[in-house]
Amino acid sequence: MAPLWAKWAQWIWPAGILVGSVILALIIHRVVFVFAKSVTRRTGGIVETSLARHAEGPTRWILPLLAIVLALPALPVRSDLVQMLRHVVGLGLIAAIAWVFVLMAEVVSDTLYARYRTEVADNLAARRIRTQTMVLRRIFTVVVIVITAGVMLMTFPEIRQLGTSLLASAGIAGLVAGMAMKSTLSNLVAGLQIAFTAPIRIEDVVIVEGDWGWIEEILTTYVVVRTWDLRRLIVPLSYFIENVFQNWTRQTANLLAYVYIYCDYTAPIEELRQEFRRIVESTPLWDHQVCVLQVSDSSEHTIQIRALTSASDSSKAWDLRCLVREKLIEFLQQRHPECLPRTRAELNGRQNGDNGLPAPSPDGRESAMSKR
C-alpha cells in the first residue's frame, strides 16, 4: 500500500495546474480592466464606461473558468474525474454567460438613461423611455434566468430522460402551474402593457386609493408609489390596468394651481385681481401661462373667489397654491379686514314696555338683534 504522502503527491501537480491557471486568468483580468478603466476615464464615453463597469464582475468568473477548461486536458488524473470537473465548470460558464446577457441589458439601459435625462422640466418623453427600458429589462432578466436554469438542468442526463417521460403530462402541469401563478402572470402581462401603452411612467404624479404621490419604481410585479409624506405604497402592476386612478402628468408636466378664497360681498374684486397678478409675477414658481381671478360662486353669506394660475410641475403647483393663498389672506387682513367673511345682524327697535323689550338707547340704536 502506498504511503499517504505519495497519494498527496499525485494530487499536488493537478492542483498546482488548476490554481496556476486560475491565478494567471485573474492577473490577465486585472491588467485588462485597469487599462480599460484608464481609457474610459480619458474618453468619457457612456457606452465604454458602462461596459467596463458592468463587464468586470462576470469576466472575473468567466476567465478563470475558461482557464480551467483549457487546463483540463493537461491534468494527469482519471478521465471520469476530468469529465466531472468539466461538467461543473460548464455549469459555471452557462451561468456566467447568462450573467453577461443580463449585464448587456444594463449597458443598453445606461445608454438610454444618459440620452434621455429626466432633469429637464418637461421630461415626458424621457420618463416614457426610461419606464419602458426598466420594465423590459426586468422581464428580460426573468426570461434569461428561466432559460439558463432550463439549460443547466438539461446537462444532466437523468433530468433529460425524466423530461422526455413527463412530456405527455406537460399540458396538465402547465395548466395547474398557470392557475397557481395567475396573479404573477397577470402582473407580468400588465408590465408589458405598461411598458408599451405607458399609462404610468417613472416620476409620474398619481392619486392611488386617495393617496397623492409619485411613481418611484416599476418592478417586475409591483409598483412603488412615494407619497407626499414619504410613505411607500406597494401596488400590484395589474392594479394600473384594471382600476381607475388619476395621472396628473399623463400628457404634460404642467398643472393648473387653484385657490379658493371666501370673502364678504363688499370685497374689491378688481383690487384683488391686481394683487393676485402681482403675487404670481413676483415668484419663479409661476410658468407665465395662466393667471385668472374670478368670482366662481356666491351664497347668502359670502362670495367664492377662485384664483387660477399654472406651474411647470406638480411640486411647484402645490407651493404656488400655498403662496397665493397666504398672500391673498394677508392682503385682505391688512388692507380690507372688513371684507373678511362675517355674519350680519339686523337690530329691530321696540317701544318701552312693548312685549317686555327694552327701549332704544339715547343715541337712536336699537338693542334687539335678529340674524338674517
| Matching residue, cell 410641475 | 313
Residue 330 has phi, psi (to 5 degrees) of -65, -40
- Angstrom CA distances, 38 to 27, 50, 52, 176, 213, stand at 17, 13, 10, 54, 42
- Give residue 121's pLDDT: 53
Residue 201 has phi, psi (to 5 degrees) of -135, 165
- Give residue 369's pLDDT: 37
Residue 52: CB atoms within 10 A of its CB come to 20
Q: Hey, what's the cell of 110?
A: 445606461
The class level of CATH for 255-339 reads alpha beta
Q: How far is CA 341 from the centre of its chain?
A: 44
- Give residue 362's pLDDT: 46
Q: Are 85 and 15 in contact (CB under 8 A)?
A: no
Q: Are 372 and 345 in contact (CB under 8 A)?
A: yes
pTM: 0.48
The maximal CA–CA distance of the chain, rounded, in angstroms, is 138
Residue 343 one-letter amino acid: T
Write the pLDDT tens digit of every residue in 158-171.
665 554 554 444 45
Mark the ranges of the chain whose per-residue pLDDT is less than 70: 1-14, 44-48, 73-82, 116-125, 158-188, 253, 344-346, 349-372
List CB contacts of 201: < 8 A, sequence separation 6 or more: 124, 127, 128, 130, 131, 215, 249
H/E segment holding residue 223 = strand 222-227
- Give residue 71's pLDDT: 73
Of 293, 317, 313, nearest in space to 305 by CA: 293
Query: Distance between CA 28 and CA 22 in Å, rounded?
Result: 10
Q: Are 227 and 260 in contact (CB under 8 A)?
A: no
- Give residue 6's pLDDT: 52
Task: Provide the residue count of the chain.
Answer: 372
Parse the chain into domains and list their residue ranges: 8-167, 255-339, 342-372
H/E segment holding residue 260 = strand 255-263
**Alpha helices by DSSP H, the chain:** 4-43, 46-71, 79-115, 124-154, 157-165, 170-180, 182-197, 239-242, 269-281, 314-335
Q: Hey, what's the cell of 228?
A: 407626499
Q: Are 263 and 339 in contact (CB under 8 A)?
A: yes
HSE-CB at 30 with a 13 A cutoff on CA atoms is 6
Query: Distance between CA 131 and CA 127 in Å, rounded?
Result: 6
Interior CA angle at 218 toward 148 and 57, to 5°? 45
- Give residue 1's pLDDT: 45
3-state secondary structure of 235: strand
Of 244, 208, 218, nearest in space to 132 by CA: 218
234's torsion region: left (phi>0), alpha (psi -120 to 50) or beta?
A: beta
Q: Are 321 and 312 in contact (CB under 8 A)?
A: no
3-state secondary structure of 151: helix
